[in-house]
Amino acid sequence: KAGVTQTPRYLIKTRGQQVTLSCSPISGHRSVSWYQQTPGQGLQFLFEYFSETQRNKGNFPGRFSGRQFSNSRSEMNVSTLELGDSALYLCASSLILQGVPYEQYFGPGTRLTVT
Amino acid sequence: SQKIEQNSEALNIQEGKTATLTCNYTNYSPAYLQWYRQDPGRGPVFLLLIRENEKEKRKERLKVTFDTTLKQSLFHITASQPADSATYLCALLNRDDKIIFGKGTRLHILP
């Protein structure tokens, strides 16, 4: 079974630009979560999508948004990029059992650098 | 305030010994706790999950305990090997269905 894939793997953008990251989950997984990872803050939850609906959201500004398509693939968008958005963005897919996500399968991440 | 804490200092363990990592949480009521391993430049890899009504879980050389009274989980690697060197993350599922991660502990197994 193919793992979670993320594209692109690396991205360099300048302040003020916007960026779109893509994630393809494991086949059969309908839950996709996004995380931001930085050395200082660790892994921070951005949002979770299930069946094309945002199920949960972390404490990030509205510049961070996402969506999920009918094939469970997901995208996240960051608008008006700031230097502090430089991070590793990780996507994870999981099964939902009894209404909750269980073990998460992570992709390799997209390394975003904002200059 | 809500916190999930792991030892921020790196842990150095001699090969063959048992490595024990700690995860403490405050003001959460987790339905379960998970442990992940992360290698540099890679996404975390799931290792073990333990539910709130379970005291202990084992998988090969790995053992996890969960004490809801102490609000603590311990993660043990027995007969440690240099290949076990990595960052280990704990994560809990809160009652609002959000998965919250600790910042991780770097483990070095010394040959």
Give B46 to chain A, closest Cα distance, Å. Answer: 6
* Residue-level pLDDT at B94: 85
Q: Give tens-digit pLDDT for A46-73.
A: 999 999 999 999 999 999 999 999 999 9
Confidence of residue A97 (pLDDT cuts 50, 70, 90): confident
pLDDT > 90: what percent of chain B?
79
- Tell me which chain A residue has its CA closest to the CA of residue B101: A43
Rounded Cα distance, A54 and A69, in Å: 11
Q: Do B35 and B47 form a contact (C-beta atoms < 8 A)?
A: yes
Q: CA–CA distance from B21 to each of A41, A89, B111 (Å)?
A: 19, 26, 19
pLDDT at A94 over 70: yes
Q: Out of A86-90, A99-103, B76-80, B89-93, pick the least confident.
A: A99-103
Look at B45 and A43 and tell me if their CB atoms are within 8 Å: no
Give A7 to chain B, closest Cα distance, Å. Answer: 14
Of B31 and A77, more confident: A77
- Chain B residue numbers with beta carbons less than 8 Å from the beta carbon of A92 are 43
Q: Tell which residue, B87, B98, B111, B95, has the closest CA to residue B31.
A: B95
Q: Give tens-digit pLDDT for B11-63.
A: 999 999 999 999 999 988 888 999 999 999 899 999 999 998 899 999 999 99
Q: Which two tokens stand for residue A6?
A: 């993320």
Look at A108 and B43 and tell me if their CB atoms are within 8 Å: yes
* Residue-level pLDDT at B1: 79
Q: Give tens-digit pLDDT for A5-53.
A: 999 999 999 999 999 999 999 999 999 999 999 988 889 999 999 999 9
* Residue-level pLDDT at B10: 92
Confidence of residue A1 (pLDDT cuts 50, 70, 90): low
- Chain B residue numbers with beta carbons less than 8 Å from the beta carbon of A56 are 96-98
* Residue-level pLDDT at B95: 82
* Residue-level pLDDT at A95: 86
Q: Which two tokens stand for residue A88?
A: 């590793």
Residues ≥6 apart with Cβ < 8 Å to B53: none
**Mean per-residue pLDDT for A92-101?**
82
Confidence of residue B99 (pLDDT cuts 50, 70, 90): confident
